[in-house]
Structure 1
């Protein structure tokens, strides 16, 4: 029965791509009305069917929405559930902060360029981690790039308060916008701030999209390389949702989110909490499957593509990443790969913490070797 349900979804995509939308809508209606279990076991099918129904402008969408509505919660409460319980979310920020802290440690002055700072939660945790270790720079220039003005203001307030509490001279530079639209003047100004510089992009760079005739991601990495940062640290899901073909995106999304939902089902939580956590990803799936080429935001790529982009821009894989591996939570393991740390579920990386350098700082290698001996 499960194979039949998936085959029906694939047939809906095929009929749509062949221009037979009436047949696609009929198949989708049959799936929802006759094949799916309304009790909650088929939530993944409903979420993907919902995305296809929006793409097809199908009348079935109303019935699907009525079904999904019972699982809805506010997005912030859903995120809090994920941050607390889902290892690929709860482990990513702290792991990235471990890497960032090592590169920022021991400097009188340093600069952190954050491409998509959000509300500053990760940076707040980073400052507190370094304060606990006694490794905070005396002065930290924080360049906060963020398209949402409310989040940018919240980050400024939160981190300003934390800096005063910890006794650090924090220079918060708010840049309201998206990374691919920064001006030549912005990039030139970034280069005038105190060295060394470290760059962070936490679940943000996959939103960078190209205008016609440009390669925005390649351009972004080239501009970052021109700043000669000591390190670039990126947190990114590993799946191909940037592909131009709907079938390729659908199959990649089904596989990636299917593994994530399997991980959620393995957690020691109630069925209601598990369903709510899955619903957090419904918006991403809707964007990937229903969104047009000019409007899609969730343009994830396989981790190997990010490693290649960094290499093409002139970065080198960071050394010593094996010093950070070994953590495990609910079947998710931290494993060192060439150029990144994988949050691996089984044999597959669901989320990657990529780390690349402009050069190989000797002190970083020494620091990581010391950590190996401390944890041995």
Structure 2
């Protein structure tokens, strides 16, 4: 890290908070002049400068965007790069599925309440994992909460195809809402299933926003606890991007994404692909730093906060993940912690698979040898 460039970015934040937007724009302009527009070494500075320029509605945004445009690809192609090469993305879904399989596998009928199902890619993977373990349920009820109608439709179709292929009876209930819009009718539906219930929230619960001084996340977990699920499994980045303080969010996001970029820099892939992968996170960084408080979506929290929220809602964090030592994928290792599996770089968890139960914690699904081979 270039200490002088970072200090200038931090000063832009401080001047913005002090209401001296003219000085903030001037500092930003001076910083951009020092950045290397011919290479990629300063890409992280450009990405953060771009986010701040949009917050400031600065004329500098056009110049920065001209530089960043060379790395543009579709968001889905960027995600596919991450899923193929970045260990924290590559490992999270399969490991969460291994944990989920420990609670879903072996039942005659089971219900999966999915908070933010997206396109259903992970859930399809879960079905095929259970098939390889020969522990597929006869019937799977899926309650799919998802605000994007297209993704919800795709998830239903993908799961139906997989279930038909594998011989599983599937009952798919689409709930086209954000979590904050769930009403009593929805919760009565969720509680109407007599089968064992498991809850999944994969990179979705950090989007839940609180309003009116109440914690929507705590309310969500209390409502889930009332359903008495066998387990709740979350996949979440671990960083403090929920803070109302712009300065704190800037420092936390610089640190968190900086570590992620360092992992990307060490991958055995081409420079163009590395830059493209970093650009995937540009939208998240822009949301964290540029958007107004009431409209921000990327509200990540440290993993300890998620474990605390679940415990305070009446859940019991899982303490036995059935593994003595976790696998590694390049510089990323799996750390077995109280309530979660951490995908760690150095001594810091970047992404966590959190697991809690409604009672005395059962042993979670053992991480399979096949997964260890895939991520090694």
Change over 3 Å in CA distance of 1:35–1:276 after alignment to 2: closer
- Report matched runs for 1:1-376 at 5 Å: 2-323=2-323, 325-360=325-360, 364=363, 368=366
Provide runs of 4+ in structure 1 moved above 6 Å. none
> Hey, what's the Cα distance between the residues in 2 that align with 1:128 and 1:281?
29
1:228 CA drift (Å): 0.2
Please say if residues 325 and 341 of structure 1, whose CA atoms lie closer than 8 Å, have aligned partners that are also in contact. no
CA RMSD in angstroms comes to 1.6
> Hey, what's the Cα distance between the residues in 2 that align with 1:189 and 1:270?
49
1:43 CA drift (Å): 0.2
1:195 CA drift (Å): 2.1
Please say if residues 340 and 355 of structure 2, whose CA atoms lie closer than 8 Å, have aligned partners that are also in contact. yes
Q: What's the TM-score once normalised by structure 2's chain length?
A: 0.96
Identify unmatched segments of 5+ residues in structure 2: none
Please say if residues 141 and 194 of structure 1, whose CA atoms lie closer than 8 Å, have aligned partners that are also in contact. no
Change over 3 Å in CA distance of 1:117–1:325 after alignment to 2: farther
Change over 3 Å in CA distance of 1:361–1:344 after alignment to 2: closer
Q: What's the TM-score once normalised by structure 1's chain length?
A: 0.96
> Hey, what's the Cα distance between the residues in 2 that align with 1:324 and 1:226?
32
Please say if residues 82 and 90 of structure 1, whose CA atoms lie closer than 8 Å, have aligned partners that are also in contact. yes
> Hey, what's the Cα distance between the residues in 1 that align with 2:315 and 2:261?
34
Aligned residues: 370
1:294 CA drift (Å): 0.4
Deviations, residues 64-99 of structure 1 (Å, cap 9, x unaligned): 000000001000000000000000001000000000
Change over 3 Å in CA distance of 1:270–1:161 after alignment to 2: same
> Hey, what's the Cα distance between the residues in 1 that align with 2:368 and 2:329?
21
Identify unmatched segments of 5+ residues in structure 1: none
Please say if residues 319 and 360 of structure 1, whose CA atoms lie closer than 8 Å, have aligned partners that are also in contact. no
> Hey, what's the Cα distance between the residues in 2 that align with 1:325 and 1:145?
34
Segment drifting more, 58-67 vs 183-192: 183-192
> Hey, what's the Cα distance between the residues in 2 that align with 1:295 and 1:308?
25
1:323 CA drift (Å): 1.8
1:324 CA drift (Å): 7.3
> Hey, what's the Cα distance between the residues in 1 that align with 2:68 and 2:361?
51
